[in-house]
């Protein structure tokens, strides 16, 4: 979504090294060094690259040394245990001894607490921007989250005044942080000066998690179309094999995966967050496949080990087998991300994610939903690795209960010179590595994230819009082979999914890639794809039966007024953009393309119900739970 200004990058590259070689004699005085000028300019570059909040940029600020300004300052942490955090809790952080409360005072949650600039790459040169690196190492690691002290309504007015016997008074306040088990210890650090001119005033003692090895955030996925095997993937600080115990006495041992800073992408000119200040140790990602299950059935499982602990017992359902006569109910959306449960700032917040995940959780608990398809832009961690843990925790109420299938998006994969089609740095340097590790899909091999899967009457062809899709590319040939070999007697429906849209009314940054459309759209028609579900644009939009921007057929209203596409006489696919699951919504322009039949800029998700002759789709507004659009495709 964000365009990369290569000219700017190139200019920066040359100027960076020019100033590095010419600035050493001036640094150490209080005059602004050329290097500082260059570094402060990177703020603008980072803003352009990820288009996010002031908080996102704080590691680009020069810190002032003000550590002696509040000698009586104390930061106290109240958690459910006396000295440790549980796996998921709201922690109260109380700051006392503040001489002059300000609207610009804030508290950062930083992990690990022993973050040290000496371990940072290019620390001497690159971290001059943090001021005195020997005294102020903290912003070497980006805060997981932060809050302004004024979130306590009594803070600025000093209603919590404390006075000494000699009449010297100070102020204080308390704020709550949602803390989940991210394994490494945490400290809370008090800054004045706001996010743009941070000044370190004081820090808490480090707090540990009671069990940093706890197995957490288990999420399921299908490994094939049989409905008899399900993969569970989970996170733990423990690098020894663990187990899933499931069904009646079955068990399977995990394989263990992880990734390191060395696996992240970066550039010399502008280090990526993933490689640099956004890095957070992911622990160990365990994965194991439960086999011998029955399709469309309910089983229970728990995961972990006697050594480090077990998850609670969880009930999950298997999807129907491909070709089975069963009905299929699935939920699908793109561009979800996460919303903090507290009042914190984070580097990238998706305001609608919480509402959507709540609505989906209710849907899954109340109705028989078989599976979920999340079609790209998954967590928006984009190089701030601790945010994957928060995302996995957010989706766990549903992802631990049914098959959570994914497609890759630009915010998981794209990075300069890393093999992505688009060379924007939208993944923040992750270049697909954390995504592939957290969401192992049934793909042919590493960094080839396209696959197909069948459930009941539907064949799903799921592609990567971020990898080469041009004619004669490996992915193109796979698409051609996959879709042309679908047995339409076994699975009458063919649904095509990926991340970037072919039809959207949004323009500018969101306009479609005409090369992508020219290359891939003919395959959809040739193979009689019924429905195309894509995201990336943050709203909901449905088309007519469309090909090359021309409506080949229009739906007709059925008896209850639902738009119905008659695919007994197939003419072209129906497209829907479904990127409305969390990211700030995109508005629609006033002009309406004739192929665009429905446009909704609200948070929500698409709910599908398929029989062998009817494919029913509903756009559900997650705030009101209203169905704001319904359409049918019939055979």
Instruction: Give the per-residue contact string, 19-38, with Fe ion (x = CB under 5 A; - = no).
Output: --------------------
**CA gap 436, 446 in Å, rounded:** 8
Write down the least CB distance from residue 459 to Fe ion, Å: 25
Tokens, residue 73: 């300052």
Between 38 and 353, whose beta carbon lies closer to Fe ion?
353
Write down the least CB distance from residue 530 to Fe ion, Å: 24
Between 410 and 512, whose beta carbon lies closer to Fe ion?
410
**CA gap 327, 32 in Å, rounded:** 68
Other CB atoms within 10 A of residue 368 CB? 12
Q: Which stretch binds Fe ion (CB under 5 A): 80-88, 389-397, 433-441, 534-542?
A: 534-542
Write down the least CB distance from residue 583 to Fe ion, Å: 8
Among 43, 225, 410, 457, binds Fe ion (CB under 5 A): 410
Count of positions on this chain that bind Fe ion (CB under 5 A):
4
Instruction: Give the per-residue contact string, 371-390, with Fe ion (x = CB under 5 A; - = no).
Output: ------x-------------
574-633: which residues touch Fe ion (CB under 5 A)? none
Write down the least CB distance from residue 478 to Fe ion, Å: 22
Q: Which stretch binds Fe ion (CB under 5 A): 355-363, 384-392, 408-416, 614-622?
A: 408-416
Q: Which stretch binds Fe ion (CB under 5 A): 48-56, 112-120, 456-464, 530-538?
A: 530-538
**Residue 409 in contact with Fe ion, rule: CB under 5 A:** yes
Tokens, residue 172: 């204080």
Between 138 and 578, whose beta carbon lies closer to Fe ion?
578
Write down the least CB distance from residue 408 to Fe ion, Å: 10
Write down the least CB distance from residue 503 to Fe ion, Å: 16
Write down the least CB distance from residue 377 to Fe ion, Å: 4
Between 101 and 409, whose beta carbon lies closer to Fe ion?
409
Write down the least CB distance from residue 409 to Fe ion, Å: 5
Cα 305 to the center of its chain, rounded Å: 28
**CA gap 558, 630 in Å, rounded:** 11
**CA gap 563, 610 in Å, rounded:** 16
**Residue 113 in contact with Fe ion, rule: CB under 5 A:** no
Identify whether the C-beta of residue 584 lies closer than 8 Å to the C-beta of residue 351.
yes
Between 329 and 411, whose beta carbon lies closer to Fe ion?
411
**Residue 536 in contact with Fe ion, rule: CB under 5 A:** yes
Identify whether the C-beta of residue 563 lies closer than 8 Å to the C-beta of residue 631.
yes
Between 72 and 584, whose beta carbon lies closer to Fe ion?
584
Between 364 and 576, whose beta carbon lies closer to Fe ion?
576
Identify whether the C-beta of residue 257 lies closer than 8 Å to the C-beta of residue 250.
no
Write down the least CB distance from residue 376 to Fe ion, Å: 6
Beta bridge partners of 466: none
Write down the least CB distance from residue 404 to Fe ion, Å: 19
CA–CA distances in Å: residue 427 to residues 1, 142, 270: 11, 16, 14
Write down the least CB distance from residue 500 to Fe ion, Å: 7
Between 329 and 536, whose beta carbon lies closer to Fe ion?
536
Identify whether the C-beta of residue 603 lies closer than 8 Å to the C-beta of residue 582.
yes
Return the DSSP state at 89. E
User: Closest-CB residue for Fe ion?
Assistant: 536
Write down the least CB distance from residue 260 to Fe ion, Å: 26
Identify whether the C-beta of residue 318 lies closer than 8 Å to the C-beta of residue 297.
yes
Q: Which stretch binds Fe ion (CB under 5 A): 401-409, 432-440, 446-454, 488-496?
A: 401-409
Identify whether the C-beta of residue 87 lies closer than 8 Å to the C-beta of residue 181.
yes
Q: Which stretch binds Fe ion (CB under 5 A): 132-140, 201-209, 535-543, 546-554?
A: 535-543
179-208: which residues touch Fe ion (CB under 5 A)? none
| Phi and psi torsions of 253, nearest 5° | -95, 145
Write down the least CB distance from residue 536 to Fe ion, Å: 4
**CA gap 471, 523 in Å, rounded:** 10
**Residue 50 in contact with Fe ion, rule: CB under 5 A:** no
**CA gap 46, 58 in Å, rounded:** 11
**CA gap 444, 465 in Å, rounded:** 16
Angle among Cα 473, 477, 482 to the nearest 5 degrees reads 145
Q: Which stretch binds Fe ion (CB under 5 A): 197-205, 312-320, 341-349, 404-412?
A: 404-412
CA distance between the termini of the chain? 37
Identify whether the C-beta of residue 382 lies closer than 8 Å to the C-beta of residue 427.
yes
Between 211 and 410, whose beta carbon lies closer to Fe ion?
410
Between 1 and 486, whose beta carbon lies closer to Fe ion?
1
Q: Which stretch binds Fe ion (CB under 5 A): 54-62, 221-229, 304-312, 369-377?
A: 369-377
**CA gap 380, 47 in Å, rounded:** 15
Residue appearing with tokens 């953009």: 577
Which H or E element spans position 171? strand 169-180
Between 383 and 409, whose beta carbon lies closer to Fe ion?
409
Between 235 and 533, whose beta carbon lies closer to Fe ion?
533
Write down the least CB distance from residue 414 to Fe ion, Å: 9
Picking from 523, 621, 628, 514, the residue whose alpha carbon sits closest to that of residue 572 is 523
b/e for 200-236, b at 16 or more Cβ within 10 A?
bbbbbebbbbebbbbbbbbbbbbbebebbebbbbbbb
Between 424 and 621, whose beta carbon lies closer to Fe ion?
424
**Residue 243 in contact with Fe ion, rule: CB under 5 A:** no
Q: Where are the beta strands (DSSP E) in 456-595?
A: 458-462, 493-497, 531-534, 540-547, 550-553, 556-557, 563-566, 574-578
Between 437 and 506, whose beta carbon lies closer to Fe ion?
506
Between 466 and 602, whose beta carbon lies closer to Fe ion?
466
**CA gap 280, 288 in Å, rounded:** 24
Write down the least CB distance from residue 353 to Fe ion, Å: 14
Between 140 and 533, whose beta carbon lies closer to Fe ion?
533
Q: Does residue 13 come out as left (phi exceeding 0), alpha (psi in the -120 to 50 range) or beta?
A: alpha
Write down the least CB distance from residue 227 to Fe ion, Å: 31
Angle among Cα 372, 401, 344 to the nearest 5 degrees reads 80
**H helical segments located in 54-201:** 123-126
Beta bridge partners of 605: 620
In the complex, the residues that contact Fe ion under the rule CB under 5 A are: 377, 409-410, 536
């Amino acid at each position: 979504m964000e365009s990369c200004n290569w000219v700017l990058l190139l200019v920066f590259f040359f100027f960076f090294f020019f100033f590095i070689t010419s600035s050493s004699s001036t640094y150490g005085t209080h005059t602004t060094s050329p290097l500082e000028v260059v570094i402060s300019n990177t703020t603008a570059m980072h803003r352009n690259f990820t288009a996010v909040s002031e908080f996102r940029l704080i590691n680009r600020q020069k810190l002032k040394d003000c550590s002696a300004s509040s000698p009586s300052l104390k930061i106290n942490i109240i958690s459910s245990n006396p000295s440790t955090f549980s796996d998921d809790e709201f922690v109260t952080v109380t700051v006392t001894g503040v001489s002059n409360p300000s609207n610009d005072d804030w508290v950062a949650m930083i992990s690990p607490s022993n973050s040290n600039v000496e371990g940072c790459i290019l620390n001497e040169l690159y971290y001059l921007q943090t001021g005195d690196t020997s005294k102020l190492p903290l912003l070497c690691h980006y805060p997981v989250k932060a809050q302004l002290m004024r979130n306590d309504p009594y803070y600025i007015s000093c209603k919590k005044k404390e006075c000494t016997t000699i009449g010297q008074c100070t102020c204080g306040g308390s704020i709550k942080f949602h803390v989940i088990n991210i394994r490494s210890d945490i400290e809370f650090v008090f800054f004045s000066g706001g996010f743009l001119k941070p000044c370190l005033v004081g820090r808490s003692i480090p707090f540990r998690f009671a069990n940093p090895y706890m197995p957490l955030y288990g999420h399921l996925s299908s490994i094939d179309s049989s409905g008899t095997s399900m993969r569970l993937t989970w996170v733990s600080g423990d690098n020894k094999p663990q187990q899933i115990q499931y069904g009646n006495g079955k068990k399977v041992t995990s394989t263990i995966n992880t990734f390191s800073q060395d696996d992240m992408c970066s550039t010399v000119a502008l280090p990526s967050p993933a490689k640099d200040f956004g890095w957070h140790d992911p622990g160990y990602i365990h994965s194991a496949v439960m086999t011998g299950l029955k399709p469309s059935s309910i089983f229970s499982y728990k995961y972990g080990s006697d050594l480090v602990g077990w998850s609670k017992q969880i009930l999950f359902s298997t999807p129907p087998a491909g070709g089975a006569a069963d009905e299929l109910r699935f939920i699908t959306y793109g561009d979800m991300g996460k919303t903090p449960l507290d009042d914190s700032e984070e580097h990238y917040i998706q305001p609608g994610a919480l509402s959507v995940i709540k609505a989906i959780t209710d849907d899954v608990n109340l109705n028989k939903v078989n599976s979920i398809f999340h079609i790209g832009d998954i967590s928006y961690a984009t190089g701030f690795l601790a945010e994957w843990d928060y995302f996995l925790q957010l989706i766990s109420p549903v992802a631990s209960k049914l098959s959570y299938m994914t497609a890759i998006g630009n915010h998981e994969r794209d990075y300069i010179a890393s093999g992505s089609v688009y060379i924007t740095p939208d993944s923040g340097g992750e270049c697909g590595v954390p995504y592939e590790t957290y969401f192992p899909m049934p793909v042919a091999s590493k960094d080839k994230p396209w696959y197909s899967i069948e459930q009941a009457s539907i064949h799903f062809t799921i592609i990567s819009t971020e990898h080469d899709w041009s004619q004669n590319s490996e992915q193109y040939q796979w698409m051609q082979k996959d879709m042309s070999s679908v047995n339409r007697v076994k699975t009458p429906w063919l649904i095509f999914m990926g991340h970037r849209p072919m039809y959207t009314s949004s323009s500018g940054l969101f306009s479609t890639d005409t090369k992508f459309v020219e290359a891939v759209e003919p395959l959809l028609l040739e193979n009689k794809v019924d429905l195309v579900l894509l995201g990336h644009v943050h709203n909901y939009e449905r088309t007519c039966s469309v090909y090359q921007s021309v409506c080949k057929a229009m739906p007709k209203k059925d008896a209850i007024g639902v738009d119905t596409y008659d695919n007994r006489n197939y003419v072209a696919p129906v497209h829907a953009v479904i990127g409305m699951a969390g990211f700030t919504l995109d508005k629609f322009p006033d002009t309406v393309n004739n192929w665009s039949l429905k446009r909704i800029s609200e948070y929500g998700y698409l709910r599908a119900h398929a029989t062998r002759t009817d494919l029913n789709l509903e756009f559900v507004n997650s705030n009101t739970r209203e169905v704001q659009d319904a359409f049918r495709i019939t055979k």
